[in-house]
């Protein structure tokens, strides 16, 4: 059977089973700056947001549309870096 036609199944909490495509594709933008890693998925759900990591640990999930933390907390330095990346068109 060709790999493209393979599906995985996932049991949902309600007991139903849903077939998932073998590969899920999305565009992930990854930027490194100031010791932080900034991840944003193009076409992700609203509001637009960026996840900021340092040493493999999530620092903040930042709402770009409303300029507020969705998860974690932001430092002044991280906020400055996010603003720089937005001004450069990277986020």
Consecutive 10-residue averages of pLDDT for the chain (91 residues): 46 55 68 95 83 95 95 96 94 86
Q: Is residue 35, in this structure, part of any structural domain at all? A: yes
Identify whether the C-beta of residue 40 lies closer than 8 Å to the C-beta of residue 49: yes
Q: Is residue 81 part of a domain?
A: yes
Q: Answer whether 53's CB lies under 8 Å from 59's CB.
A: yes
Residue 37: its pLDDT value, please?
A: 95
Q: What is the pTM of this model?
A: 0.69
Looking at the 3D structure of the chain, how many domains does it have?
A: 1
Answer whether residue 67 is part of any domain.
yes
Residue 12 lies in a domain: no
Answer whether 49's CB lies under 8 Å from 63's CB: yes
Does 3 map to a domain? no
**Cβ neighbours, 10 Å, residue 8:** 9
In a domain, 21, yes or no: no
Q: Which domain holds residue 35?
A: 26-87
Give a yes or no: residue 68 inside a domain: yes
The C-alpha angle 43, 46, 50, rounded to 5 degrees, equals 75
């Amino acid at each position: 059977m060709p790999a493209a036609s393979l599906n995985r199944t996932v049991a949902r909490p309600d007991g139903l089973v849903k077939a998932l495509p073998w590969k899920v594709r999305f565009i992930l933008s990854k930027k490194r700056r100031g010791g932080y890693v900034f991840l944003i998925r193009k076409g992700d759900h609203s509001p637009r947001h960026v996840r900021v990591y340092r040493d493999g640990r999530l620092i903040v999930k930042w709402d770009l549309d409303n300029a507020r933390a969705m998860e974690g907390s932001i430092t002044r330095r991280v906020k400055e870096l996010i603003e720089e990346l937005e001004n450069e068109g990277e986020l």
